[in-house]
A = this chain, B = another copy of it.
């Protein structure tokens, strides 16, 4: 059960790939789920939502699709401690804040012009390839 794009292949209006990723029906459903409600769902959450759109989809496929989307950098995998991974389609550089009152995860962006070197005492010459910053705390409103 694999179907890359539902358009005539001679069309060049809609890509059958996205960032080098072949867009199968299942991958489109999974990606669509993430784009439609950007609440940082777990794989299980995505699975339940995807099933509404494609009842035949399997959990294994959801994991496969999420993995493919992450590898191709269309989606970020977000980890808070060792709880189930969450998935985020926001491609802007950003970090994650979890409201301890509601459990909700919010995107937070860096201020303009901030550089890592200004922040951290990194050893001379290190090349930072990946950065993950997670925050927990309370939002003003959730503060009763």
Interface residues on A, range: 35 or more
- Tell me which residues from 82 to 111 in chain A have a Cβ below 8 Å from any Cβ of chain B: 82, 85, 95, 97, 100, 106, 108-111
Interface on A for B, CB 8 Å cutoff? 77, 79, 81-82, 85, 95, 97, 100, 106, 108-111, 114, 118-140, 143
Q: Which residue of B lies closest to A107 (CB)?
A: B121
For A137, the chain B residues whose CB sits under 8 A away are 126-130
Specify which of B81, B128, B134 is in contact with A135 (CB 8 Å cutoff). Answer: B128
Q: Is the CB of B100 within 8 A of A122?
A: no
Question: Nearest chain B CB to A63's CB is how many angstroms away?
Answer: 13
Determine how many copies of this chain the complex contains: 2
A127 to chain B, nearest CB (A): 5
Listed by A's residue number, 6 A-B pairs whose Cβ atoms lie within 8 Å are A82-B82, A108-B121, A108-B123, A128-B137, A129-B136, A129-B137
B residues within 8 A CB of A108?
Answer: 120-123
The smallest beta-carbon distance between A75 and chain B, in angstroms, is: 14
